[in-house]
Structure 1
Amino acid sequence: MRRRHMNKKIYDMANDIVTDFSKTEEQELSRKEVEKYEAAFQKRLRTRESEAAGRGKCRNKSIKRGRSLKMAVCAASAVIVIGIAASSSEVHAALEQLQWTIGNALGLQEDLADYKEVVNTTAMDGGYAVTLHEVVVTESEVWVNVTVRREDGQPLDISAISPIASIKVNGRRVLAGGGGGLKYLDEEQTIVGIEMCYNCENVDLVGKTAIDISFRQLDIWENIKGKWDFSFTADASALMKDTRHIALNRTFTLPNGVTVTLDEFTSNDLEQRINFSADDKDASRYDMKVIARDESGKEYPFYMNYFGGGSTRKGYMRLLGDMLPEAAGQVEMTFYVVAMPEQSGKMSNDFRQLGESFLVDFGQMPEAAE
């Protein structure tokens, strides 16, 4: 299983997806740019300690971050182009038949058939059609791929599209910070494909679980409002059973004195990550990453994607790019940190190595649980 390489076109995002465009920089994407970048990006999303309750958002004290990751290109044969004059019923039917799998969206070679729930349901409101295609859940995350289209078939401004969702698990609303990526799925730029990952704090999704996802806003300017609701069941049991673990147990001290422990490396068909824990919530003052190097010198970057600064003080760094093969042999891992911005909000890439590198023997990776 191999993911596509990182895209140079990065859109920094914070909280409920705030783009990095200023008024003077605002411009339409050219066709050349669309073809070059495919309007794909992996969003880095930071949920702040307080959110405006009046806007219907959860209060969230966790921090979620990631780096830009180019999503896989949809094969031309998999994309259905819908005519401008299509009726609402035609839009509904065509969107549900769109063969854009969650595996396509995440840039995986396989479609996660053993782990996903196929929903393929369309909700329409306010002149916009939203289709929830497929879902994969881990023990605490909900991964979805969604398409958005105007009912009148007119083109969409991809720079403004940013669906904001609330999530209920077994009828209870949960804190769910999230991030993801999007791109056009047709040449006419009328269909936007979106993949999102929502981290549901203090929730266990192992076992049959009823999940509700509600979108009330589709753009960052709050101009596209409505009700796009979806309900389905999912179970993380199979994916978690097939997840492999390697204990790391490596401890580092941040410049502010907080201790961070890299607990374990995990690998499954969906993702590879490094789970970590901290002895204080002030670990959130630093961005972190781990660079793994195989025996040939190839690098595999794990970027901090989530840190729950409350009672758990746990987080993880997710691999972006090609997955580390199980036959990687001896893998060298190096831990890097950089201080979070105090005021500007602009993320720094001036990472510095912390502590010594260490070796991980992939030959000792245990088999997945039977």
Structure 2
Amino acid sequence: MKLTEAAIARIAPGPSGEVVVRDSQLTGFAVRVRRKADGSLSHSFWVIYQERTHGKRRTIKVTIGQWKDPWTAAAARSEASRLLEARARGERVVNAKKARKASRTIRDLADGFGADHLPSVKPSTAKDYTHLLTNKILPVFSDHKVEEVTRGEIRDWHLSMRKTPYSANRSLAVLSKMFTYSMEREWRADNPATGVKKFPEKKREEWIDEHDLPAFKSALSQRTGPYSEAIRFLAVSGWRLSEALSLRWASVDLKRQIASLDDTKTGAQVRSLSSDAATIIDRQPSRSGYVFHLRSPHAPLCRKNLREELQEVCRSAGIEPITIHGLRHTAATWSAISGANTMELREAFGWRTSAMAERYVERAETLARKGAERAANAINLFDRETCEVREFQKN
């Protein structure tokens, strides 16, 4: 029987539930029809040939693939002919699935990961992943075969970024997700990124305290333009940089003093605006497009230029330079010192859980205790020779 579409459709397995039918024109080309547990039929194209090993003959079966998904009878016949010709030349015969699997590179993996995974995450997360793929992962691993990447190679790559531990750890996390994806697609049986030790990350605790705050405010008051306005807003609101730069007029309700944010680190939120934050928004020159923008309301501010503006403010104030995120720490710390509780902080700053808010409450309590001890030491009611903060332990 010549294996055509019509002929294959007529094949039915016998009592054993399985039958192998060989093609009458191409020796070695066959189809196996098997009845599955649910009663449906599975059709697999094979190449079958004899091979002598250590004086013994054995039958070799190489799977081409499933009928219709993706192989038609004609395409399977062509692939079988190619494999049989390769065997005749003495070459190693590998089925198409294994050949594709062995030839897949990290760039192929990145393309598949980007197409299947990135649409399911937030736009800001997808942007971060794309940046790390483009700048950290593909420049090193692009042409590496997926199956051949070793844990040692990944460890060496990660160690090469030791000067930027935060970026190194995020890059490692993305690469690990990619290999997990490759396991789901059966491109690889394991994840070589598993077990690579991440760098310790210092918690970013920088903030502008009571000593530096007056100088900072004075220096900021001397600055003009959209970048200084954005810094003022970040200082009084404690918003994340991405939230402030992406804020549009369509999302702002100044009468109710709220802003609707579609994409934050913890999802869509409605954020309350303080009177000062609302005032800063209200005095911006446009009422369409981005709230903080350059000449055109449809052109958002440049992150790099904003950071440089903040560094210039710090230099003018004569204080240690602070990052944009340090403004968020500053706002949260002063909010806690002023008496905000955990739930108020969580809602105001958009954290998913109360854990982060509790850090600032604890910091405020520590600062308050230190302040109380300073007052007691200054008065020195008991005429102690040395004045120092004492730690009291509960019995």
TM-score, length-scaled by structure 2? 0.22
Q: From the two aligned structures, give the one with the greater strand fraction.
A: 1
Q: From the two aligned structures, give the one with the greater helix fraction.
A: 2
Greater radius of gyration (CA): 2
Does 1 or 2 have the higher relative contact order (CA < 8 Å, sep 6+)? 1
